[in-house]
Amino acid sequence: MKITDRKNERFFAVMTYVIFFVEIGICGLVMLLGLPEKVLNTIELIVSAPMAWSSFFVLMLWAKKLYPEMTRKEFIKNAFSDKLSIKWIIISVCISFAVYIVSLGILITVSGKSIGQLFNKEFALNPLMFLLVLVSGPLGEELGWRGYYLTSKAKRYSVLKASLITGLVWSFWHLPLWFLRGGNGIDLLIYILAFIVQTTSQTVVFGYIYTKHRNLVYTILIHTFDNFLAGTLVVDATSRMASAFYIIQAAVYVIAALVTILIYKKSEITKIQPE
User: 85: phi > 0 → left, psi -120 to 50 → alpha, else beta; which?
Assistant: beta
The amino acid occupying position 134 is: L
State which of 41-55, 151-165, 256-270 shows the largest mean pLDDT: 151-165
Q: What is the pLDDT of residues 83-116, one digit of tens each?
A: 999 999 999 999 999 999 999 999 999 888 888 8
pLDDT class for 48, splitting at 50, 70, 90?
Answer: low
User: Residues 58, 64, 68, 70: is their CA dihedral positive or negative?
Assistant: positive
Helices (H), 119-184: 121-124, 127-135, 138-142, 151-153, 159-173, 175-180
Distance of CA 236 to the CA centre of its chain: 22
Give the chain's mean pLDDT.
88
Is the pTM higher than 0.95? The answer reads no
Q: What is the longest distance spanned by two Cα atoms in the chain?
A: 58
User: In the prediction, which pLDDT does 82 show?
Assistant: 95
The pLDDT-based confidence of 38 (bands split at 50, 70, 90) is low
What is residue 180's predicted lDDT score, i.e. its pLDDT?
A: 77
CA pair distance 135, 37, nearest whole angstrom: 23
pLDDT at 118 over 90: no
What's the pLDDT score for residue 275? Answer: 47
CB atoms within 10 A of CB 212: 16
User: Domain-by-domain residue ranges, the chain?
Assistant: 82-264
Report d(CA 25, CA 52) in Å as an integer: 14
Q: Give me the torsion for CA of 28, 34, 39, 41, rounded to 10°.
A: 40
